[in-house]
Amino acid sequence: MLFLGTFSPTEPDAGQIIQKTTERYSRNALYSELSIEVIRPGWVNQLGVRAWARGDTYALIVITSPSRDRGNTFLKRGDNLWHWIPNIDKTVKMSAAMLGLPWMGTDLSINDLFNNHFDPSEYTLQLLPDEVIRDTECYVIELTPKDDVPIVWNHIRVWVSRVNYAQMQAGFYDENGDMVQLMETADYKEVGELIVPLEIHITPLTIPGNKTILRLTHYDFDVQLEENFFSLQNMKRQW
């Protein structure tokens, strides 16, 4: 019986773990203020951002600093992306591909800003032996994208804390099996049912010396945002 106890039937499988971590992350609407630090071999630069999001579908992002970029606004509605450029008073419709590409000189894409969780239906999951990350025992799950899903990575490995189901880190691998990007989270905050990492580090491993650190300086998970909040008119408001 003791023997059976160590292989407890309550031990979750990969799908359940991902499901659980997703539950702990996803929220309906979110208002946040972010400070993004871009680190490059020769320089370090700060970017201040205010963002409103509703699910994965809607997002409005306003740049607040530095002053030369202040007021630049990005609107995401599904796969559509617009950019309002205040100093030439123009709204530019951008291609959907931009949602997944590095944004404003950071190592993050707009999608990365809001969906740092994985949809289990898009991947084949495999549970690997546990590992210890920063003194925390973690489940290790390998996610391999299904054939028809447009995801650039060959596979992704996610380290999920056994303690609070927070995603401690995620590694993104290319077809040679080399990790090309590493995402680490830190400074967890419990907000009701949610576990929120206040700091996210993105390190592209192919370019030495590059790193982006995202800090959540202010947040509100109780904000009520209607669909029509995410409109082209609202983009041009002086936030």
User: Where along the sequence are the contacts to another protein (CB under 8 A)?
Assistant: 38, 42-43, 45, 47, 68-69, 72, 83, 85, 87-88, 90, 92, 102, 104-106
Determine the Cα–Cα distance for residues 30 and 53; give it in Å rounded to an integer.
Answer: 5
Q: How far is the CB of 102 from another protein (least distance, A)?
A: 7
Q: How far is the CB of 122 from another protein (least distance, A)?
A: 29
Chain-centroid distance, C-alpha 134: 20
Q: How far is the CB of 212 from another protein (least distance, A)?
A: 11
User: 4-25 b/e with 16+ CB inside 10 Å = b?
Assistant: eeeeeeeeeebeebbeebeebb
Determine the Cα–Cα distance for residues 25 and 58; give it in Å rounded to an integer.
Answer: 17
For residue 18, CA distances in Å to 148, 188, 199 come to: 20, 18, 20
C-beta closer to another protein: residue 104 or 198: 104
Q: How far is the CB of 228 from another protein (least distance, A)?
A: 26
C-beta closer to another protein: residue 44 or 149: 44
C-beta closer to another protein: residue 3 or 43: 43
Instruction: Enter the tokens of residue 181.
Output: 């990007």
Determine the Cα–Cα distance for residues 75 and 63; give it in Å rounded to an integer.
Answer: 12
C-beta closer to another protein: residue 92 or 128: 92
Query: How many C-beta atoms surround the C-beta of residue 2 within 10 A?
Result: 5
Going by the DSSP 8-state scheme, the letter that residue 179 receives in this structure is E
Question: What are phi and psi for residue 142, nearest 5 degrees?
Answer: -100, 130
Residue 6: strand, helix, or coil: helix
Q: How far is the CB of 77 from another protein (least distance, A)?
A: 20
